[in-house]
Structures are given as C-alpha cells and as structure tokens.
Amino acid sequence: MRLLWYVALLATTSLAGAQKLPWQGRLTGASMENKRPQYVQYLFPEQVSVAAGKDAVIDLHFRVNPGMHINSHTPREKWLIATRLLVIDSPELSVSRVEFPAGEDYTLASMPKDKLSVYTGEFVLQAHIVAKRGQHIMQGALRYQACDANSCYPPREAPVAVDVIAK
C-alpha cells in the first residue's frame, strides 16, 4: 500500500536562492509556522549512509508531546485527518514507500463507545529510499493533526531532513 504523498513543487525564496518546502515561508521574515506550537517533533536520524542505487530503509523517529495524540495514518473515521509523510523527490533520491506503525486504540471520556486509532509518545516510520552515489538531503514533513483530551488543533507539518550519503 502506497502511503506516501509526493510533493513536486519547490517554492523559491529571494534570500540567496535558498529553497523552501511548499508549506514553509508563507510570511516574509519570521515564518508563521515557527510561531505556531508543534505537537510532534522529528527526533532522528540526522544522517545515514546507504548503498548507492539499492533499496534502503531509514527509520524516522518522532515524538508526540505528552498529553497529546495524533490520528494514525489510517483513522477509523473518514472525516479525521490522517498522518502522512510529505517528501520531495529528486532525480538523485526517491522514496518508494513509507511504512507506518499500527495505531493504538484511544477512547475519549466524552465518547466512551468510540475508539480512535492514534499515535502517542514515540513512534517510528520506515522510509524506503533509493539514492544515487553522493550526498543528498531527504526533505519533507510529517503532516498531522494533534488533539488533547478536550479538543483538536489545526493540522501542522513537522519538518524532516536527513542527510543521505550513498556509497
């Protein structure tokens, strides 16, 4: 099952030709994303070495803030926002698929008969990549919607960047 949403377009900024992801830099100067709280953090790895031209698996580690949960990649209701990994593919590095862990059952006190499929605490995604020989950056973001016991917050994107060295 392909669980990866590919983002094809890069937004270009005027500062020294730096590239930003499409969901970044909506404001000039300090970005709004930096002012909004993140409920999920990308933990590691910062750098990996893989065999050039061969399928490799990278474990991407994330942590949901204490007291919060996010919908899994397969929520039980269609109206819930699924967690997705957004990745920018390039000719040098591509992500063929992402494996998500199974969600945990979670019940809200206000809806004791309904079970949600969520992630809490730390969880790991497995990204299957193929990279050409050289050093590349895998850029992307984890798109999620966080909730606590009382309410849900607007969707957010937690940035993900991994330095991939293909030998």
Q: What's residue 34's pLDDT?
A: 53
CA gap 29, 78 in Å, rounded: 37
Q: Domains (ranges, CATH) in the chain?
A: 4-166 (2.60.40.1250)
Mean pLDDT by 10 residues, the chain (167 residues): 27 31 40 69 95 96 96 90 93 94 85 86 96 95 92 93 96
Q: How far is CA 113 from CA 18, 49, 105, 151, in A?
A: 50, 47, 12, 18
What pLDDT does 114 receive?
83
pLDDT for position 54: 95
pLDDT of residue 35: 64
- pLDDT for 77 equals 85
pTM: 0.77
Q: Which residues contact 122 (CB under 8 A, 6 or more apart)?
A: 43, 61, 62, 63, 64
